[in-house]
Chain A
């Protein structure tokens, strides 16, 4: 009996039965089953093979193919080849699954470990989560998603975000929690019945519990919209309690006493909430991406909450007064409330400026711009995902709504393939959009027929704004624009360079800018069409891409080589953002980015890079005011690093190896606080490193107002 050398070098006995199965399958698949013919073919193959001195898999396959073709069985041959190919892919996947698991075990894959700046891959819960992610991703690719989608994803044409969660699990991305409904009406969590809180302290406590639960059931950001207004009734309850207490004890200035008490309680309540959020570890193995939106409340209670949130943040976390990176704070600015010196809450805007100069957050939402560009006012979900306008029984509804997930398009790749031909680029873009739609529909598909009991906190206890029964279907919740589902895109800057060369900069060339806007408009037209066709709320989202900026670029670099201004930097630029290396002042940067939020209304943010602004809140206010009539959502990045060795405050030097203090040279990660923005969220890259591409991007960022 002959032996065969397998791919991995192992020797096994020759087994004709295997060939018979494969050929028989191929014949079946082209409706050409013929037992006699099959036997005949197999005998012939066996004879041929027996004459060969050594056998390996390739040799066997070649012989089978030859024999089939000699018998004019072209269809069968084709089927056999494609069957074999899919077996190859399957095998490859299985071995890459093993590889990934092994690298997790050995802690040897930096990309995997540093994938998310928010996950500490050194600890067991995170490793369990990463393991689940590896398996979920492989299973989805092998058994849930169509081959076309998988190929598009793997080749770097598109990115099917969060494959480690969905579609394996019927999970969605991010949401605005209906905190108000949950607190007013009470809810059940695990075995505990939670009644409506009777004080602000209890209310923030329960809020932390809700956030922890919700964040474990979704993979994207958890946002509380208008938290100052949602929680103001509980400030009143606390105040009344203090007032009653003052009466009971015959305190002379009863109102004065109650005010002093409530101020303290409110501060403590929000400090506790901030601690909770920063120490939370969801079952996803990460600190949840939590965002608080606030600023529009006008009552003294709401104002006190606004002050508490900002003062807690300014004061810092723990012994070193470190900058808290969660929750993300988003402060709403509106004329008549807090924008102008004569507005009643102008003092809160000043406090927000102080906070931003010291702690980077809050970012700001310019009320009128948000309404104008997205249809209604609301805080973004996660770092930048905006819901559209949606009405329920005649009133605008935001709380309880969500985003179903994102699939992003690699625009620079299409441009590289089109090789400078703009017309061809737009043609191929349409092709790629079809795949994106299919991929997004697969997300929707996965949520069909799912029952509420899969995530009681979301669907039965009110986080999604409804109280369904365990066996109820959840899919209705996502229809008619109640939820959004997003097409993302990466690298407008590199796309333009790939199309036109990098001898001129997009920023300096109005003609190129026109094409850039045209591209984003084309994407917008596609999502609008899909909305019309399906009734689902498709939106266009400007992808932040923590890992994606590296992944796409790496893949394209391999295929197209290092192309100046496109693949040579090792990362692609976020969505429509200005190239981080371009030195322009923040005013001009706002003007440059201004057209995009209206088009990509499903997700956007604009930033400026600033020097230390602690001593110049006026200048910071100037830029906030400038943004007020131009962009809906603005963030100011300023150096807020701190050295615990020498006391230096400012910006640490950033190299590919890590961070160091410019004043004393300190390189010890536990003796510094380094805070950088990565794609909408703040992170502490000294504690948890960024992936290589992101680190490179951070190194290359230029200040938009550095004067030395």
Chain B
């Protein structure tokens, strides 16, 4: 998998203070996409074990407390990204207890493939749906257009929502 950018400290992609990974690769090609350069799987930099370790370390930082990890892109649920993303979310679950995982995808929750669902079971909050420029709303929380939905999937997140 390639990734577009990694922010070790982020406050604009999901609740609380977070680490955010923007992966490469998206087949939705929405009109008005904020960053078309993330569409190609070949763009960006290779997602390495070292970066994975770095993410785990950042999430475990005791000085600057992170609420969790955000996966965005591109599309983290692009078929070509699933193996790497699965490994990452599994590690987060195992090594970073108490941290939540948010994920943005252009696919709809209701029509995910089995492999995608396999990844999503590790995810607490899923924001789904393509970006539709006609439904763009500038002041929405965590979404670009009003068709997109926030799904609080895990128990804890549902309680908070």
Interface residues of A (CB under 8 A from B): 585, 587, 610-616, 618-620, 622-623, 626, 647-650, 663, 705, 707
Contacts and interface: CB of A to CB of B under 8 A. Distances in A.
B138 interface: yes
B49 interface: no
30 contacts: A585-B9, A587-B9, A587-B63, A587-B64, A611-B11, A611-B12, A612-B12, A614-B139, A615-B142, A618-B15, A619-B11, A619-B15, A619-B16, A620-B11, A622-B16, A623-B17, A626-B64, A647-B138, A648-B138, A650-B138, A663-B138, A705-B9, A705-B11, A705-B12, A707-B5, A707-B7, A707-B10, A707-B12, A707-B13, A707-B20
Contacts of B15: 616, 618-619
Interface in B45-92: 63-65, 67
Nearest to B12: A611
B67 A618 contact: yes
B137 to A, nearest CB: 10
B9 A622 contact: no
The dominant DSSP class at the A interface is loop
A622 B139 contact: no
A14 B12 CA distance: 79
B66 to A, nearest CB: 9
A648 B18 CA distance: 26
Interface string B139-151: 1011000000000
Given A705-B11, A707-B7, A649 B139 contact: yes
Contacts of A623: 17
Contacts of A626: 64
Instruction: List the 8 closest A-B pairs by CB distance, nearest first.
Output: A619-B11, A615-B141, A618-B16, A622-B17, A707-B7, A585-B9, A619-B17, A587-B64
Given A587-B63, A587-B64, A707-B20, A616 B138 contact: no
A616 B70 CA distance: 14
Nearest to B140: A615
A612 B141 CA distance: 11
Given A614-B139, A620-B11, A649-B139, 5 more contacts: A610-B11, A613-B11, A622-B17, A648-B138, A705-B9
Contacts of A610: 11
Nearest to B6: A707
Contacts of A614: 139
Contacts of A663: 138
A623 B7 CA distance: 17
Contacts of A620: 11
Contacts of B17: 618-619, 622-623
A350 B53 CA distance: 35
Nearest to B63: A587
Nearest to B66: A622
A471 to B, nearest CB: 60
A613 B15 CA distance: 10
Interface in B105-139: 138-139
Contact of A616 (B5, B16, B65, B139): B16
A611 B64 CA distance: 18
Nearest to B5: A707
Interface string B13-46: 1011110100000000000000000000000000
A616 B18 CA distance: 11
A411 B97 CA distance: 50
Nearest to B22: A707
Nearest to A662: B138
A445 B122 CA distance: 72
Contacts of B10: 705, 707
A622 B65 contact: yes
Contacts of B67: 618
A649 B11 contact: no
Contacts of A619: 11, 15-18
A647 B65 CA distance: 35
Contacts of B141: 615
A610 B138 CA distance: 18
B3 to A, nearest CB: 14
A620 B17 CA distance: 8
A535 B12 CA distance: 52
A615 B13 CA distance: 10
A622 B7 CA distance: 17
